[in-house]
Amino acid sequence: MKKAIVDGLGAMGSSIAENLKSNRFFVTGIDPDPDTIETALIENVINVEGHFDEATVADADVIVLSAHVPYIIEAMELLKKLPVKENAVIVDIGSTKTEIMKHAEGLDNFIGGHPMIGTDQEGIDNRNKDMFIGAPFFLVGKQIVATRASSMLKSLGSIFQLMSAEEHDRLISGISDLPHIVAFAMTDSVDQILPNNQLTWQQRVAGGFKDTTRIANSSPDLWTGILMTNQEQVLTAMDTMIDTLKDYRAAIADGDTKVLNNKLTNAQEIREQVGESKND
């Protein structure tokens, strides 16, 4: 029987733990919250509670670091001093990779991970062991460890994709950072466009506005951190967006129906290819 350690039993960590346990892994869970551990034990998310001690680590085939970024880094430093099994895999699931990869040196079995799951629900009660099915799971690091990681975590049903840290950060700036900035900025802008309006927000809004700004109701603290961590790529992405808006603006100001129509058609054709997924 293979053995796993899952450090951090939030919504994603507990989902991975439960998935592995129901796929014949013996799962040791780590979490600072006693209620979370109790739930995890009662509801069969983990086999036992544990810690990063020599015996547990020496025995583990896969170690999942699913706490918040500072704790992931703390765990990485700790694991450097412990007897990790030769072919074991250590994988994190933090959403930024730059800082974490700095600490990966000297931890040969480590691979950076980033499952693309847009969950805004936190905690073990919001787990779902099938949440990873069909969703991309980006891996940053060495091919050999990536292959081992995707084999070990096969039961998640993710689409594993290896890339460089730089490629990851550019990708994330486009598909996650920019949409969040834009959602915040548009909520802000619409509030400026409609100042002292007598209508309540609830009456003002149409489906389009709600869809496009939904993720502006995300944690400001979390997003301040994420955006600052990926500063360079975020600025490039924002410049592209501002320039594109200026192009659209020029077409509208000129009353150039043909140019505007071409731009909208181009975007619509791209968006049509994206489609929807069952994660939506």
Q: Which of residues 205-224 bind its own copies (CB under 8 A)?
A: 205-221, 223-224
Of 59, 176, 165, the closest CA to residue 112 belongs to 165
User: Beta-carbon neighbour count of residue 53 at 10 Å?
Assistant: 9
Cβ 66 to its own copies shortest distance, Å: 18
CA torsion, ordered 168, 170, 171, 177, to nearest 10 deg:
110
Q: Binding its own copies by CB under 8 A: which of 23, 56, 126, 187?
A: 187
SS3 label, residue 185: helix
Q: Binding its own copies by CB under 8 A: which of 1, 53, 196, 253?
A: 253
- DSSP annotation of 157 reads -
Cβ 209 to its own copies shortest distance, Å: 5
**Site map 126..165 versus its own copies, x via CB under 8 A:** ----------x----------------------x-x----
Q: Is 116 in the site for its own copies (CB under 8 A)?
A: yes
Between 44 and 224, name the residue whose CB sits nearer to its own copies. Answer: 224
Alpha helices in 43-96 (DSSP H): 54-59, 69-79
Q: Is 278 in the site for its own copies (CB under 8 A)?
A: no
Cβ 273 to its own copies shortest distance, Å: 5
Give the C-alpha distances (Å, rounded to integers) separating 48 from 1, 27, 79, 166.
15, 7, 20, 38
> Interaction with its own copies in 63-92: which residues (CB under 8 A)?
none
Structural contact between residues 98 and 170, judged by C-beta atoms closer than 8 angstroms:
no
Between 24 and 246, name the residue whose CB sits nearer to its own copies. Answer: 246
Cβ 73 to its own copies shortest distance, Å: 19
